[in-house]
Amino acid sequence: MVQIIETTDVNVPVGTAYNQWTQFESFPKFLSEVESIAQIDDTHTHWKVKIGGFEREFDAEITEQHPDERVAWHSVGGDTHHGGVVTFHKLSDNETRVTAQIDWEPEGFVEMAGAALGVGKHAVKKDLENFKEFIESQGTETGAWRSDVEA
C-alpha cells in the first residue's frame, strides 16, 4: 500500500474551499488524470480516469463527510483500489489549508514502478496546486453540498 500526503494553502475561506471540493463533477477542471465523475447519489460517484496512458473506471463511496472539515472515501469495484481523506483547516478568515491523504494499491509493473518513483506524490501535489489556482481564480465555489455523512 502506498500512502501520499500533500498540503496546499488556498486564499479563500474554509467554507468556500470545502464547498468546491464537494462538487465532484468539477474535478476534471483541476485533477489532471480525471476524465469525468458522475454523482450517483449523496455518497456514491463513478469515476473515469486516465493514468499513464491507461484508462480506468471505478466507483467511490464517501465514507465520512463533515462540512468545512473533511471528506473521506474509498473505491468500490472497478479497476483501482484506493481510499483517502481531504481535510480543511481554517488558517484565517480568508485562508485555508487543504490536506489530501491518499492510500492506494499499485497493480502491475507500471504502477509499481511509478509508485517507486513517486509519480503519484507528484500528481497529487500538482492537483492540489491546480485546485488552488482554480478556486482562487473563481473567488467562490461553483456549488455546495453541506450534509454530514457519519463514519
Q: Which residue has the cell 471528506?
A: 71
Percent of all residues in the chain with a pLDDT value above 90, rounded to a whole number: 67
**What is the three-state SS of 25-37?**
HHHHHCCCCEEEE
142 Cα distance to chain centroid: 16
Domain 2-138, second-level architecture: 2-Layer Sandwich (3.30)
CB 144 within 8 A of CB 68: no
- Residues 95-133 as b/e (b if ≥16 CB within 10 A, e otherwise) read ebebebbbebebeeeebeebbeeebbbebbbebbebbbe
Domain boundaries of the chain, sorted by first residue:
2-138
The confidence band for 145, taking pLDDT boundaries of 50, 70 and 90, is confident
Residue 77 confidence (pLDDT) = 81
Residue 134 confidence (pLDDT) = 97
Q: Is the pTM of this model over 0.75?
A: yes
